[in-house]
């Protein structure tokens, strides 16, 4: 590395000169990341299937949640790779610059989905590059902030980390308001492309500050000896134990980008005189952080400290219990939705206030805690361990979403039993032998395809379920498009039995979507042999001026294009066999609420056993450095 770069902080009580460049870089980088992440689940469930020349099967919510949390887990796994690279070989500055370029390439891949290659492959490539780039620079940027300080101005660390978090949330707020709007009206190419441009700008801003930074050099192999020394392993083990508990907080918090967004589609989005786009609701968190950071720093913390000394671990512990309350609000709101209601998005706004308060107490405190509790040569690695807690939390959320998915047994059916033509495309039919594995018995399932798209799924008792749907539709038309409540709907269908003599089940997703289910040949609800229909409330006549409200969105235009070129490619087979989830509705949110509560209780005990030890960098005490420190 060039000798023109200073490698140690100068003795000074003032703010280091490189901080504005780091803060500016972080604001632009967070715009790119959170803008892309804000629309990811919505894109996968509503847009991905129409990105090719012909529509494919839409991704289910549980699968999208699983993929989303797997991506976030990867983003927060790669910090350990970036930290080791920075601390052993390249140093933090060079690591950040190199991986920022990889990051930019990932955004470019997302922006080109549907234009180059298969959309699903470009999605995987783009998310992989972003996970490597974004994840790799995370611990380096956080630790690079701390490297700018020596003992003389270490008292400014808390203030700078607050600024650091402030810049993160400023960029995130703007992007989470703007990017969903871009997706809705201008489509995925621009919605993913603009965050990529912001990432390129972030890289440029960081490069411009290279002569202002303190460049703490990589330690090489001696670093590994320190990491694996008895003292190093003990330091890493101590903080890792704390961060393991914090993982459950992230399992809840990062669902604001997945299950909370999907819930928002089932809520009344007209709030505060604004018609919100569901994925914009995430911006509540960033806006609240900007308000709550100074409130906690200058009002709440000083007031509590007068009666109860607030150590970092006590802040984290309180934050965990506060997070429990936020998810409980979301669970209650979901209960209203499950019962056929349409609660205001204000329910989520209230939950965001509480969750953001928890974030301020947990996340910001962990940043400072990770830096001060790590030995001098291991700052990036300990920062990476903190970020690994986000990985663990998202792995847990991804695994839960994977385990609750019921398989569709008909997707593995081979063999065509009949073929014909629909225009220029082949029509085929397949038979699945059902649960007993024998064709020609009462539980056989038939599937009809045009090309590779399934257009009909037939199962025993199909006509009975169709008549059940007609009853629901007739009731809905007589009640201005409303769907019957659960008890009313099930009473209406009480005389209808499935092919095995069991009653049909009526279930509400929200005020517009419902499901009618047979327990299937195993006569057990919640298994892969459940079968039935998913339906929508019948469209009622729109009022004056509403006829063209949705016609000009990018997605509506794209569906019309596909309908014109290949009408059968967007047909909707609402019948299903399996493919649902075992943990649905409010029960899903209550599960995570109780998991967080149990974790918070155990953390109180762990925090009492922790013994704190602070490590800070030495200062350059040469005469020239002292002179520079008095003039900075």
pLDDT tens readout for residues 82-97: 878 887 888 888 898 9
Cβ 618 vs Cβ 150: under 8 Å: yes
Which distant-in-sequence residues (6+ apart) come within 8 Å of 612 by Cβ? Answer: 311, 312, 313, 373
Structural domains counted in the chain: 2
Asked whether residue 467 falls in the same domain as residue 599, the answer is no
How many whole angstroms from its chain centre is CA 19? 29
Q: Determine the Cα angle at 424 with ends 418 and 428, to 5°.
A: 15
Asked whether residue 45 falls in the same domain as residue 166, the answer is yes
Q: In terms of pLDDT, which residue wins out, 23 or 577?
A: 577
Give a yes or no: residue 4 inside a domain.
no
Give a yes or no: residue 547 inside a domain.
no
Give a yes or no: residue 505 inside a domain.
yes
Asked whether residue 576 falls in the same domain as residue 602, the answer is no
As to burial, measured by CB atoms within 10 angstroms (0-12 exposed, 13-18 middle, 19+ buried), residue 159 is exposed
Give a yes or no: residue 59 inside a domain.
yes
Nearest to 49 by CA among 62, 36, 64: 64
Q: For residue range 248-286, list pLDDT tens digits in order.
A: 999 999 999 999 999 998 999 999 999 999 999 999 998
Q: β-strands 513-518, 505-508: how paired?
A: antiparallel
Q: How far is 354 from 288, CA to CA, in rounded Å?
A: 10
Q: For residue range 194-209, list pLDDT tens digits in order.
A: 999 988 988 888 888 7
Asked whether residue 365 falls in the same domain as residue 421, the answer is no
Asked whether residue 496 falls in the same domain as residue 619, the answer is no
Asked whether residue 48 falls in the same domain as residue 159, the answer is yes
Q: The domain spanning residue 114 has which CATH number?
A: 1.20.1250.20
To the nearest 5 percent, what fractions of the chain are helix, strand and coil?
60, 10, 30
Give a yes or no: residue 254 inside a domain.
yes
Helix (H) or strand (E) holding 429: strand 425-432
Asked whether residue 92 falls in the same domain as residue 144, the answer is yes
Cα distances from 546 to residues 542, 543, 553, 556, 561, in angstroms, run 6, 6, 14, 15, 22
Give a yes or no: residue 543 inside a domain.
no
Domain of 502? 409-538+552-580
What six digits make up the tokens of 165? Answer: 């978090």
| Phi-psi category of residue 606: left, alpha or beta, with phi > 0 → left and psi -120 to 50 → alpha | alpha
Q: Determine the Cα angle at 570 with ends 566 and 571, to 5°.
A: 110
Query: pLDDT band for position 617 (50/70/90)?
Result: very low
Work out the average pLDDT over 476-485: 90
Q: What is the pLDDT of residue 631?
A: 45
Asked whether residue 426 falls in the same domain as residue 389, the answer is no
Asked whether residue 261 falls in the same domain as residue 131, the answer is yes
Nearest to 559 by CA among 51, 145, 167: 51
Work out the average pLDDT over 9-32: 78
Q: For residue range 32-76, list pLDDT tens digits in order.
A: 999 999 999 999 999 998 998 877 778 889 999 999 999 999 999
Give a yes or no: residue 289 inside a domain.
yes
For the CA atoms of 10, 11, 17, 20, what is the dihedral angle to 10 degrees?
120
Asked whether residue 312 falls in the same domain as residue 421, the answer is no
Asked whether residue 574 falls in the same domain as residue 599, the answer is no
Give a yes or no: residue 470 inside a domain.
yes
Asked whether residue 110 falls in the same domain as residue 242, the answer is yes
As to burial, measured by CB atoms within 10 angstroms (0-12 exposed, 13-18 middle, 19+ buried), residue 610 is middle
């Amino acid at each position: 590395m060039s000798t023109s770069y200073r490698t140690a902080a100068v003795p000074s009580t003032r703010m280091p000169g490189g901080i504005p460049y780091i803060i500016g870089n972080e604001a632009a980088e967070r715009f790119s990341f959170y803008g892309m992440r804000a629309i990811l689940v919505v894109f996968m469930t509503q847009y991905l299937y129409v990105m090719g020349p012909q529509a494919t099967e839409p991704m289910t919510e549980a699968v999208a949640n699983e993929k989303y949390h797997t991506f976030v887990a990867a983003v927060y796994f790669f910090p350990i790779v970036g930290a080791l690279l920075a601390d052993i070989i390249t140093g933090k500055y060079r690591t950040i610059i190199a991986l920022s370029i990889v990051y930019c390439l990932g955004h470019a891949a997302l922006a080109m989905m549907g234009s180059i290659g298969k959309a699903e492959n470009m999605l995987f490539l783009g998310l992989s590059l972003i996970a490597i780039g974004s994840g790799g620079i995370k611990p380096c940027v956080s630790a690079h902030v701390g490297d700018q300080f020596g003992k003389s101005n270490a008292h400014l660390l808390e203030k700078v980390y607050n600024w650091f978090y402030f810049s993160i949330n400023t960029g995130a707020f703007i992007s989470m308001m703007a990017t969903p709007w871009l997706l809705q009206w201008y489509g995925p190419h621009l919605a993913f492309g603009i965050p990529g441009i912001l990432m390129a700008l972030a890289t440029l801003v960081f490069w411009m500050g290279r002569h202002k930074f303190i460049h703490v050099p990589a330690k090489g192999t001696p670093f590994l000896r320190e990491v694996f020394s008895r003292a190093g392993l003990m330091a890493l083990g101590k903080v890792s134990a704390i961060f393991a508990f914090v993982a459950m907080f992230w399992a809840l918090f990062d669902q604001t980008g997945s299950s909370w967004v999907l819930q928002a589609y089932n809520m009344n989005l007209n709030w505060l005189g604004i018609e919100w786009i569901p994925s914009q609701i995430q911006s509540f968190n960033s806006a609240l952080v900007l308000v709550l950071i100074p409130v906690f720093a200058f009002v709440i913390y000083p007031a509590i400290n007068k009666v109860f000394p607030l150590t970092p671990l006590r802040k984290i512990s309180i934050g965990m219990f506060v997070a429990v309350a936020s998810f409980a609000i979301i669970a209650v709101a979901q209960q209203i939705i499950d019962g056929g209601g349409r609660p205001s998005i204000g329910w989520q706004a209230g939950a965001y206030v509480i969750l953001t308060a928890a974030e301020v107490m947990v996340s910001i405190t962990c940043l400072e805690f990770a830096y001060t509790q790590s030995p001098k040569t291991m700052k990036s690695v300990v920062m990476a361990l903190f970020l690994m807690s986000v990985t663990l939390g998202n792995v847990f959320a991804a695994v839960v979403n994977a385990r609750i998915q019921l398989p569709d047994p008909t997707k593995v059916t081979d063999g065509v039993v009949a073929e014909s033509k629909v225009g220029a495309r082949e029509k085929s039919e397949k038979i699945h032998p059902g649960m007993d594995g024998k064709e020609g018995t009462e539980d056989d399932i038939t599937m009809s395809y045009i090309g590779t798209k399934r257009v009909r799924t037939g199962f025993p008792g199909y006509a009975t379920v169709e008549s059940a749907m007609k009853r629901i539709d007739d009731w809905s038309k007589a009640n201005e498009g409303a769907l019957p409540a659960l008890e009313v709907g099930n009473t209406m269908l009480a005389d209808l039995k499935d092919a095995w003599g069991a009653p049909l089940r009526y279930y509400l997703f929200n005020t517009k979507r419902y499901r009618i289910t047979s327990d299937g040949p195993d006569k057990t609800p919640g298994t892969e042999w459940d079968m039935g229909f998913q339906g929508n409330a019948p469209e009622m006549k729109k009022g004056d001026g509403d006829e063209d409200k949705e016609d000009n969105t990018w997605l509506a235009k794209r569906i019309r294009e596909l309908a014109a070129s290949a009408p059968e490619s967007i047909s909707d087979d609402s019948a299903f066999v399996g493919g649902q989830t075992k943990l649905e509705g409010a029960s899903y949110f209550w599960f995570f609420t109780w998991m967080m509560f149990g974790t918070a209780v155990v953390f109180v005990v762990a925090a009492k056993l922790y013994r704190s030890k602070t490590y800070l960098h030495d200062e350059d005490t040469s005469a020239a450095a002292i002179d520079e420190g008095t003039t900075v």
